[in-house]
Amino acid sequence: MNNFMLPILIEQVDFTGFWWVYVIIGLVVGVFIASIVYFIIHYSISKKKKAEAEKKLLEANEKLEEANSKSDAIIASARAEGRLEKEELLKNAEKDIDERKKTIAATEKKLEQKENALDKREDVLMAREGNIDQKRTELEKREKNVENQEKEVEQKMTSVLAELERVANLTAEAAKAELMAHVEQKEAKKIALYKEQMEEEAKASCVDKAKTMLCLAMDKYAQDVTSEHSTSTIALPSDEMKGRIIGREGRNIKSMEQLFGVSLIIDDTPETITCSCFDPIRREKARLTLEALIKDGRIQPGRIEDLYKKISTEFDDALRRIGEQTIFKLGLPRINSGLMQYIGRLKYRTSYGQNVLDHSIQVAYLSSVMASELNLDPMMAKRAGLLHDIGKAIDAEQEGSHVQLGAQLARKFGEPEAVINAIESHHGDVPKKFLISEIVTAADTLSAARPGARSETLETYIKRLEQIEEICKSFAGVQSSYALQSGRDVRVMVTPDKISDEDAKVIAMQIKDKIENEMQFPGQIKISVIRETRAVQIAK
């Protein structure tokens, strides 16, 4: 019954509600199977590793035994070699000790010999010192004898001189003076001739030295004068303009130099080019044309030629206007219009550092004043003074002296004979036929040689002197200052307690620099800084 009823009961029971029981059973069975597998694998691996370790241990023990045997053999051989080396070292040391003992014994013998030699030398030196002491005492005795003899000789000489003075009835000084006078009288002619000869030699040598110094000064000064009076500098907005002025393959600068008749110098000087030419008119035209080209910016041969023609025409008109203004300023009657341009050209001509137009105007003023004082024609004198250097307007273009060229111009434009003679004779080339010629020569000398003769108003002149003195007094330690010779010589007195000689030199340099920077003056100014100490006593 039981067997019959069991399938019925199982069919009747619902196992769907017990699914988690199946899961638990499955997990337990899986863990059990996995642990069995892990144990089996681990056992097999550990057994294999243990066998390998035992094998390696056996190999290491074998190698250790081999190493021990080798080390024992090496130690035994090293001990044997060490004993041999010690024996050799001991033998070598004994040999060295024996050799050193021998050398020490030899050196001891040498030292003993040297000591004996030194002892002998000491004995010799002691003997020499004794001889020297004896000779010294003998010399002292001789010196005393000599002194006694000198005293005796002096006494005898004084007695002899006294006897001579008594016999000659003259003192020693009087006899000396009489002897000198006698010698002077006897040799006077020779002395005079010698003095004359020395003076002549000195004069000859002075002339030669003066000529040498003058030539050296001219040589050194010529370069500065040439550079100052034959070159003009043109400022550029940038250095790039130099390349444009030169042009492609230099065609612009070649065209300018050929057209202007000047040399253009383009060097490393920043933003500057130099125009060089002995003719001041051509140089000025070139300068004005270059400045116009730089402002215009179009620099090419065609444009250069057009601008040069335009500026040349304007420049000639400007020269004529300068001549007309000069005639109007001097109040002269009408002069041939052809001379106006030549008078204007004198503005761009210099001679010995003077502007020739300013110099000619000064000569005209001075000639007029002198002629008025002598009751001569002041206008004719003024006219001759203005035109006396007119030849310098063309002496750079034509051959001949400015005197000859000026006389030719004056004849060409119908000037009076008195004016022509003044032009020809103001340097003594021809005789003077008129008094006006003498006046013009004197006025020319005054204007050229004396800087104070320039036409300057009294007010300007006084202001210039006051400014010089104020500049000098502005320095510490200056007591007073005086402007002499129309301001050409300045004397500066300094306090000697505060200013040393070296400080005086420094003050002179500083005054010179300040005058040059702050003032405009003709010629040169000599500055003398004086430092003196006076000792004053009053006898009562």
pLDDT tens string 25-49: 878 777 778 777 777 777 777 777 7
Q: What's the rounded Cα separation, in Å, for the pair 295 and 299?
A: 10
Residue 354 lies in a domain: yes
| Host domain of residue 64 | 44-82
Q: Which residues pair with 192 in a beta bridge?
A: none
Average pLDDT over residues 255-262: 82
Residues 362, 378 within the same domain: yes
* Domain annotation covers residue 421: yes
Distance separating alpha carbons of residues 239 and 340, to the nearest angstrom = 40
Residues 451 and 379 in one domain: yes
* Residues 511 and 441 reside in one and the same domain: no
Pick the last residue of a domain from 392, 421, 455: 455
pLDDT on residue 385: 92
Kindly state whether residue 247 falls inside one of the protein's structural domains.
Answer: no
Which has the closest alpha carbon to 263: 251, 271, 254?
Answer: 254
Q: Identify whether residues 423 and 464 lie together within a single domain.
A: no
The continuous run of DSSP H or E covering 527 comes out as strand 526-530
Strand order in the sheet with 478-484: 478-484, 489-494, 526-530
Band (421; pLDDT cuts 50, 70, 90): very high
Q: What is the mean pLDDT of the chain?
A: 79
Q: pLDDT band at residue 246, thresholds of 50, 70 and 90?
A: confident
pLDDT (tens digit, 9 = 90+) per residue, 138-197? 888 888 888 888 888 888 888 877 877 777 777 777 777 777 777 766 665 566 566 667
CA atoms of 250 and 258, how far apart (whole Å): 12
pLDDT in the model for residue 216: 61
Distance CA 521, CA 452 (A): 10
What is the predicted pLDDT for the residue at 188? 54
Domain assignment present for residue 510? The answer is: yes
Q: Is the confidence at residue 221, as pLDDT, over 60? A: no
CA-based angle 143:146:151, to the nearest 5? 130
**pLDDT of 386:** 92
Overall number of domains in the chain: 3
Whether residue 1 is predicted with pLDDT greater than 50 in this model: the reply is no
pLDDT at 417: 93
Beta strands in 244-312 (DSSP E): 263-265, 272-276
Tell me the C-alpha distance between 406 and 394, whole Å. Answer: 9
**Cβ partners under 8 Å of residue 474, min gap 6:** 514
Residues 449 and 463 in one domain: no
Task: Judge whether residue 248 has pLDDT over 80.
Answer: yes
Among the three residues 433, 455, 477, which one is the final residue of a domain in this structure?
A: 455
List the CATH number of the domain containing 501.
Answer: 3.30.300.20
Q: Which of 406, 309, 306, 322 is nearest to 357 (CA)?
A: 322
Q: Confirm whether 496 is domain-assigned.
A: yes
Confidence of residue 465 (pLDDT cuts 50, 70, 90): confident
| 278-312 confidence digits (pLDDT tens) | 778 888 888 888 888 888 888 888 888 888 888 88
In a domain, 216, yes or no: no
Q: Which of 438, 455, 472 is the last residue of a domain?
A: 455
Kindly give, in sequence order, each residue whose CB lies less than 8 Å from that of residue 238, ignoring residues fewer than 6 positions away.
Answer: 271
Do residues 447 and 431 both lie within one domain?
yes
Lowest-pLDDT choice from 90-99, 221-230, 528-537: 221-230
Indicate if 340 and 400 belong to the same structural domain.
yes
If asked whether residues 467 and 409 sit together in one domain, one would say no
Residue 423 sits in the same domain as residue 502: no
Asked if the structure places residue 314 within a domain, the reply is: no
Identify whether 513 is part of a domain: yes
CATH of the domain at 421: 1.10.3210.10
399 in the same domain as 474: no
pLDDT tens digits, one per residue of 326-368: 989 888 888 888 889 889 888 888 776 678 888 899 899 989 9
- Higher-pLDDT residue of 449 and 325 is 325
407 and 469 co-located in one domain: no
